[in-house]
Amino acid sequence: MAEGMIAGMQASGSLQNGQIYVTNRTNVDRLQELQERYGITAIPQEKVEWHSMDVIILAMKPKDMTAALIDLQEKVQRGQLIISVAAGIQNEQIEHYLPDNQPVVRIMPNTSSTIGESATAIAPGTHVSIEQLTLVKKLVRTFGEAFVIEENQMDVFTGMAGSGPAYFYKLMEHFEETGVAAGFDRETARKIGTQTMLGAARMLLETQEEPAGLRKKVTSPNGTTAAGLEALNEAGAGEAMTKAILSAAERSNEISEELKKQLLTR
Ligand X SMILES: NC(=O)C1=CN([C@@H]2O[C@H](COP(=O)(O)OP(=O)(O)OC[C@H]3O[C@@H](n4cnc5c(N)ncnc54)[C@H](OP(=O)(O)O)[C@@H]3O)[C@@H](O)[C@H]2O)C=CC1
Ligand Y SMILES: O=C(O)[C@@H]1CCC=N1
- Our finding on whether 93 is near ligand Y (CB under 6 A) is no
- Our finding on whether 87 is near ligand Y (CB under 6 A) is yes
> Which is nearer to ligand X, 24 or 153 (by Cβ)?
24
> Which is nearer to ligand X, 144 or 179 (by Cβ)?
144
137 is in an annotated binding site: no
List the x/- string, 2-31, binding to ligand X by CB under 6 A. x--------------------xxxxx----
> Which is nearer to ligand X, 66 or 132 (by Cβ)?
66
Rule CB under 6 A: choose which of 48, 56, 60, 133 binds ligand X: 60
User: With CB under 6 A as the contact rule, which of the stretches 99-107, 155-163, 200-208, 233-241 interacts with ligand Y?
Assistant: 155-163
- Our finding on whether 162 is near ligand X (CB under 6 A) is yes
Q: Which residues of 200-222 are buried (b: 16+ CB within 10 A; e: fewer)?
A: eeeeeeeeeeeeeeeeeeeeeee
- Our finding on whether 90 is near ligand Y (CB under 6 A) is no
Q: To the nearest whole angstrom, how small is the minimum distance from the Cβ of residue 204 to ligand X? A: 22
154 is in an annotated binding site: no
From ligand Y, ligand X, none, interface partner of 64 (C-beta below 5 to 8 A by class): ligand X
103 is in an annotated binding site: no
- Our finding on whether 108 is near ligand X (CB under 6 A) is yes
- Residues lying near ligand Y in the complex (CB under 6 A) are found at 87, 158, 162-163
Residues placed in the known binding site: 59-62
